[in-house]
Each structure stands twice: as C-alpha cells, then as structure tokens.
Amino acid sequence: MRPANSMATGTEKVPAAGSARVRHREPEAHDLSTAHLKLVPPSEELRLKIRLEAVRAAASLDRSNPLTKDVLRRHAEQLMQTVGLPPGYLGFTMVAISNEFWREQFMAVDFKRRLLLLPHCLKHTETCPADYDAAGLNCTGCGGCVIADFKLAADDLGYKVLVAEGTPAMLKVLTSGEVDAVLGVACLNALERAFDKVLKVGVPSLAVPLLSNDCASTTVDVDWVNEAVRLRSVAPPQRTRTYLPLLRAANEMFADSQLNTLAPRSRAATPGDADPIAATESLGYDWLASGGKRFRPFITLAAYDAMNGGKSVRPADMSVPVELPAAVRRVAMAMEVFHKASLLHDDIEDDDAYRYGHETLHRRHGVPTAINVGDYLIGLGYRLVSREAKSLGAEAVNDILERLAQAHEKLAEGQGAELFWRNGGNMEIKPLDALKIYALKTAPAFEAALYAGMRLAGPLGDREALVAEFSRNLGVAYQIINDLKDWDGDDNNKLVRGQDVLSARPTLLLALALEAATATQKHELRDILGDKEKCECAVHRVRQIYAAHKVFEQAETMVRKYRERCESVAADAKPDALRELLLFFVNTLLERDLPPLPEGQ
C-alpha cells in the first residue's frame, strides 16, 4: 500500500551529518500508487523549515478530540500552499503537523509509560547477530548500528522499546495498558500504516520519518530521534479525549484474571488440569484468550458508555480505571465469544490454514473438534447474557438475546449463500447479490454489538431504526474495503494477495468484473475460479481483468457512497456522545484513504 521516490531509488549517496545509513528493501509493486505524495525533503534545511511552519499550523487546532486524517491533510495542504511546497511533501508535512498537535501531551507522559518503535531495516543485515521473536527484532546491543544506540538511550530513560514494523505489536502494547504514548521511527509508508491507527485511537504520538521510503541507501536523522526521545515537560492545559480507556477495558476482559472472573470455568481450574470432559472448555478458553482486536466488545462497552454521557472517553490515564458494571462487561464479552465461534466455523468452511498468525484450530485438532469448540462457545455466549436477567432486568436481557439470535440467523444465511454459490458450479453472481451477502454476513454482528450496548443503558425507542441503517451501511462498506485489501495481502495473518480468488469467494469485485467482462473474459474467470489448483499466474490474470474494467475504482466509489450514508445517519444521532461514537466507527473502520489500487499489470 505505499511509495517510492527519487531519493528512495538510492540517488542520495552520502548521509547528512547526524544521520545513520539504512539497509535496502525493495518497494512492493503496490507501494508505487501513492509515491507522489510521500517524498522526503532532501535537505535538512527544508525539513526544519517545514517543522517550524508546522508549529504555527498546529497552534490553532482543537486538542480536545483526536486529530482526524481529513483535518490533518487539509492543514498540511494549506501549509504547503503558504510556503510554496510541491505536492510530493504532503506525507512529510502531515507528520510534522501531527507531531506538533501531540507534542505537549507526549512530553507530559512519563518516560516509563512510553513506547519507542524502531524499524528493523536500520540493522546491518550481513553482520547483525540479533534474532527475531514474536515482538520483533531482539536487539543484542552490539553497537553495530544505530538501533543499539537508540535502544540504550531509551532503555536508560525507562521506555519500552520494540524493533518491529506494522501495527499489531504496537496496538497490542497500547491496548494492554503498558504505555500511554508512542514515538515511532519509520519510513512514511510504515508511519501511514501504523500511526493512522494511533491517530484514530487518540494516543499522544510523535514520528520521525526515515529519509526515504524504500529503505534503499537511506538515512535517518539521529539528532531528531535523540531530541524526541528526551522530550519531557509538565501536563499541558488541554488534553485529548480518547477511546483508548474503553479499548483497554475490552482487551483486559480476556486476560486470565478477568476472563476467569467474568466467565468462571466450570470444568477445569486451569487448561493443564483438563480431562477429556473438560477438554472442550479448555480449548474454548484458550481460543478466547488468543489473538483478536477485541473490537466487538469495545463496541458494546462504548455504546453503553455513550448512552450514559461518554464519561469513559477521556485522556488515557491508567490511574483512573474505567468503571463498568460486571453485567455490562459480560454482555460485551459475549460479543467476542460469538465472534470467535464464527471464526472457528468460517475457517473450517473456507479451509483456511492460518488465523492470528498460527495454524487454525481445525488444522491442529481436526475438524470435528473445532466444530464442537465453536458450538460450545455459542452456548457460552448466550449463557453470559441470559445469566444477567436479575441484574439487568428480564426485558433488557430478552431484547438483547432476540437481537443476537437474529444476528446468528442472518450470519448463517449469508455464509450459506456463499457456500451455495461456491458449490453451485456456474460461478455467476451479480453486484446486488454480493451486496446482499455482505449485508447478511458483516452487518448483523456489528448491529448486535451496538444494539446490546445501547439497550443495556435503556430502551432504544426510535433509535432502533438508526442502529439498523447505520450498521447495514457500515458493514457493507467494511466488507468492500476488505475485498480491496485482499489484493494487498496480510503478512501478520500469513495471507497472500488474491486469497478471495484462490478460495473462489463470491466478492463484489468478481461480480463487477463478470458484469463488465467480455464473453472470453467471463469464460476465463469461471475457469480460474473452478480450478482447484490455482496458480499465482491465475491470480495475476484475474487482477488484469479487474483492472481492465476499473473494478477497483468502482468498489472505491461504492465505499465512499456507503460511508456518506453512515455519516448522514450518525449526524442525526442523539445524545452527542453517541453521534461522536458512530463517527469514530466510520473514521476507524472505513478509511477515507482507501488501500492504493492494485496494479493491473
């Protein structure tokens, strides 16, 4: 999803003073589509000028709420126009303004509550003795590159240091409650991927871009990094409200202590004690505790909080825990339990090999066991809700259970439609049919989680229609974005590009292509999808057909249409805290800047 430029091809041969050389990494083909927006100013003087102008540009920004990418881009474009900068410096300018937006709040966070995120491409590949572990590069501190220097300085101050790229490791640390601020060093491509999520969550963060985007003979400004690492001051007068406390609350429910308190095991005290009768429970709890973003329980917790005034949306301060009733937490937990059950069954139906970077449960324990664990989790999810009839009221629990049952029916219908299509043989699907499947497979789970949180706070009344419409549009748009991202791959989950083609899934992209393709191309597509032994060249050919008929562009247009519908529905939501939450969902799940269009060649 990201770029290259004249500097990125290795034209800058000599590192500037206070810089460190970086090893080469070939740009991916899909990096090229946004290259023109992510050039790095070649001179230290120009970079400093942009940073100083960013101080003025950020001075008037409202810091009570997180900075959105749209607002950030608008201010960056204004700055560039004022200074007379070319469009290519947009990415760098956005980073500079974001840094100034967060600088005071970042400086106020204790060193021991900060994360320093470094790129492993700073290492010397030929001589580096470090190994990789689950968290990233395990630097030995040999002194052979600047990673050791940065790490030593940060360690001395109390930072948590990760040498890794991508968002999973960083988000795991943030949601675990270990840190309250992030300093990241990376190319503009990696910063866009990782810090886009941080911006949306509202975590004080600073970023230092590498001086090119493909890591080919590039440099990093050592002085800038060292300056940022040591920044420290008292708390600023205005701090940014963030959903991070609620995200952490959702994540913490699945730590052993809370998981076993909110949903005590009935068969075995610990997984190691499991006998054959307790084996299903043990596998189910292990599966619950492993992987996942915990976004569905967050939806429920945040919706409940919004209907009660949004008191938990505040600056991330671990000294002030989120106060939520145990019954509310159990209902939120049920949303994740149902989600994990559906993943087990989906992985079997799709015969997926990996989930969360590991072999799927059915590959490890067999299909019958995985089906049974999924069934067990469905029962556990309903029990987590039904047991709260006394504390929440029978009517509220009945309403939530009814909505969950409806969601299960729709999910099964959507998945069934997909399976029927894949087994039918004719490989025909219209765009409207694909959208109907999306509305059944994706929207109901979101709607159930949102409805449950709101219903926990009281009857919805007229808001029921709002919840349904918002969820339907959000779910469809989210699935289309997933279709587009499928052509970008996912290293964390060990996915390859074009997985939907390899698995012969009835996607909107395929439907749009079949609608516009020539008779010969339709025949090609059907042959490829029906071939059990698809090769990489087949995926490449599908990409070519999609590109020829502008399928990716059409899909992007549809995402924007559904996003606008979501924003329109959210604008009418009351109270204000609910409206803000719905817009947060839109900005978080439906990225305004969609994945770069896959290359068709």
Q: Where are the domains of the chain?
A: 7-230, 241-392, 419-601
pTM: 0.81
What CA–CA distance (Å, rounded) separates 148 from 119?
Answer: 12
Concatenated DSSP letters of 130-160: -EEETTEEE----SSSHHHHHHHHHHHHT-E
Q: Between these two residues, 299 and 355, which has the higher pLDDT value? A: 299
Domain 419-601 in the same topology as domain 241-392: yes
Q: Between these two residues, 584 and 216, which has the higher pLDDT value? A: 584
Amino acid letter, residue 551: V
Q: What is the crossing angle of helices 443-456 and 431-441, to 10°?
A: 40
Amino acid letter, residue 3: P
Query: What confidence tier does 202 reach under pLDDT thresholds 50, 70, 90?
Result: confident
Whole-number percent of the chain with pLDDT over 70: 85
pLDDT of residue 536: 78
Q: Between these two residues, 151 and 591, which has the higher pLDDT value? A: 151
Q: Answer whether residue 26 shows pLDDT above 60.
A: no
Q: Mean per-residue pLDDT for 534-540? A: 81
Q: Which top CATH class is 241-392?
A: mainly alpha
Phi-psi region of 393 (alpha: psi -120 to 50; beta: other; left: phi over 0): left
Which CATH number is 419-601 given?
1.10.600.10
Indicate the DSSP class of residue 325. Answer: -
What CA–CA distance (Å, rounded) separates 148 from 142?
Answer: 7
pLDDT of residue 327: 97
Indicate the DSSP class of residue 388. Answer: T
Q: In this predicted structure, which of 87-91, 412-416, 588-592 has the lowest mean pLDDT?
A: 588-592
Token digits of residue 358: 């590991």
Beta-carbon contacts of 94 under 8 Å, excluding residues fewer than 6 positions away, are: 72, 73, 76
Report which of 197, 232, 199 is spatially closest to residue 68, judged by C-alpha positions: 199
What CA–CA distance (Å, rounded) separates 221 from 208?
Answer: 8
Q: In this predicted structure, which of 78-82, 357-361, 365-369, 596-600 has the lowest mean pLDDT?
A: 596-600
DSSP bridge pairs for 220: 20
Asked whether the beta carbons of 305 and 248 are under 8 A apart, the reply is no
Q: Answer whether residue 288 shows pLDDT above 60.
A: yes
Amino acid letter, residue 208: V
Q: Three-state SS for 185?
A: strand
pLDDT of residue 32: 38
Query: What confidence tier does 274 reach under pLDDT thresholds 50, 70, 90?
Result: low
Q: Answer whether residue 59 shows pLDDT above 60.
A: yes
CB count in 10 Å sphere of residue 403? 20
| 519: Cα separation from own chain's centroid | 39
If you count DSSP H runs as helices and E runs as strands, how many of each does the chain have, helices first?
25, 10
